[in-house]
Structure 1
Amino acid sequence: MSFDWSLAVFVALVVVAASSGVFFKPGEWYSGLRKPSWTPPNWVFGPVWMVLYIMIAVAGWLVWRADPTSIAIWFWGTQLLVNATWSGLFFGMRRMDLAMYDIALLWVMVAGFIVSASAVSTTAALLFAPYLLWVTIAAALNLAVLRLNREAA
């Protein structure tokens, strides 16, 4: 069994996108914001995103191997770019309003991937289901924090 370099490329692309979270961290500004009572503890975000990013890489790779010309590959790449943008908008620019538009677009791209990937790889589509759930929760949190902190937006 030989190593598949194409999987390494998908992992590398995801690592690059995930690195936006390294450059744009929550910090003191975020800790000072009012948040809803159902906000997950800070320690949850890292492990959840680590698992999701692995699933995102594998899902993209599975679709690419099955049909590199599938529209699902476009959704995969687009969602990765939109995902990478959110941290910079929310934490970097402190623009919760723009981050809300970004995460709404992310939700559409993730759902689009699931629908389009299901015709190519059921496994890839299923790997994105937890991601869609997490993005839904993150969007609700983004909206709640935006509403609770209108003056900081």
Structure 2
Amino acid sequence: MRNISDLIEHYLKQILQTSSEGTVEIQRSELADKFSCVPSQINYVISTRFTLEKGYYVESKRGGGGYIRIQRVDLPSLEAVQRHVSHTVGAEIDQTSAEGLIYQLEEADFLSEREARLIRAAITREALSIGLPLRDQIRAKLLKAMLVTLLTK
């Protein structure tokens, strides 16, 4: 059985998929009531699972008429994706940012689930058991090499 965070994430992603604009606007308190949880649980899900690295733009307005707006940011063409990868990775990249990029590419169907799992396995702290900053530099080189290979037609 999935936990409450997974259920909230799944619910929001379903709404985003059915939205013609690729945007969902919700009220934190209404969503918390729907899932019988505290509003901070909603904040947690949005701040950890709907990040820019994962392909989402989140706008929040607090107060009585406040809302949270989540918009899916789609990657356009393969060429643009290659530029995005080159810009995002740079000379070094931490594990969280690398995983966010992989997630975004998988969600946009530029990587298969299997390819994404293999890349994640190769760039983990455990696989690259060396000190910083060398680990982030090697992770960047590995990630670039794998993504350039997979994203070249």
TM-score normalised by L of structure 2: 0.27
Which is richer in helix? Answer: 1
Larger Rg: 2
Name the structure, 1 or 2, with higher relative contact order (CA <8 Å, separation 6+).
1
TM-score by length of 1: 0.27
